[in-house]
Amino acid sequence: MKRFEDKLVVLTGAASGIGRATALRFAAEGATVFGIDRNAEGLAETAAAAEPGSIITHVADLAEESAVVAAAAAGAEQLGGVDVLANVAGFLRVTPLDTVTAADYEDMWRVNFLAPALMCRELAPVLPDNTGVIVNVCSVSATKAHPYMTSYAASKGALLAFSLSLSAELGKRRIRVVPVSPGGVITPLTQSSEGLAGLDTSHYARTFPLWGDMGTPEELAAGITFAASPEASYLNGFEVRLDGGSHV
């Protein structure tokens, strides 16, 4: 399929996991992708896995507003426009309540909420009326209980609420805003056991699909690119859960 032939996509988190898989899926379907991440080596690997020239890379730490503004401007300039903004970058840290700090909440807020919100602020003005799309990757943690993830869940909940309100604000321009909420996905981020030692993780057995396997980045990329595609032209302002039915 070439659903994104000649389309211009700005995508954050392109160096690994869901972001890399989504960047490659957009590129494979004809898009030129401006991939942003703080991991220069990972970005280079993503670009090397795609057709030459289909993924332009930009190294930036989006935890700082100035970096977000600069990255958004660079993307719009180097692409010559933007048709799709996909905010995929995310940050997860296990933070039990008795050890969570203000810095934990601030870190999560900056990366998981503030960065995508500011990317939307910067690029919404250049998205085309009637066909522009924003996909914000949230999490089922925004609406479903996951112990030891209060700071993560709060930041993703803010992004979900922001996305729903933004869909109404941009509705008159017919720019679609779709929040996509993954469940458990096999990525370097979720496979790390850092911070879990000594904690009761039995609750998480209830968050797996009935068939027992976590999702793959490629499965998530398929859902994200569908939400951004013309096939989903009537999908707007509605949370799409990609969790294998694990949270029904």
What phi, psi does 212 have (nearest 5°)? 90, -15
Quote the distance between the C-alpha of residue 182 and its chain's center: 9
Q: Which amino acid is at 122?
A: E
What phi, psi does 22 have (nearest 5°)? -70, -40
Rounded to an integer, what distance in angstroms lies between the CA atom of residue 68 and that of residue 80? 18
What phi, psi does 237 have (nearest 5°)? 65, 30
Q: Hey, is 192 helix, strand or coil?
A: coil
Please check whether residue 33 is in contact with residue 23, taking contact to mean a CB–CB distance below 8 angstroms. yes
Q: Which amino acid is at 196?
A: L
Mind telling me the catalytic residues?
152
Q: Hey, is 134 helix, strand or coil?
A: strand
- Return all residues near 103 (Cβ < 8 A) that are at least 6 apart: none
Torsional class of 177: left (φ above 0), alpha (ψ -120 to 50), beta (otherwise): beta
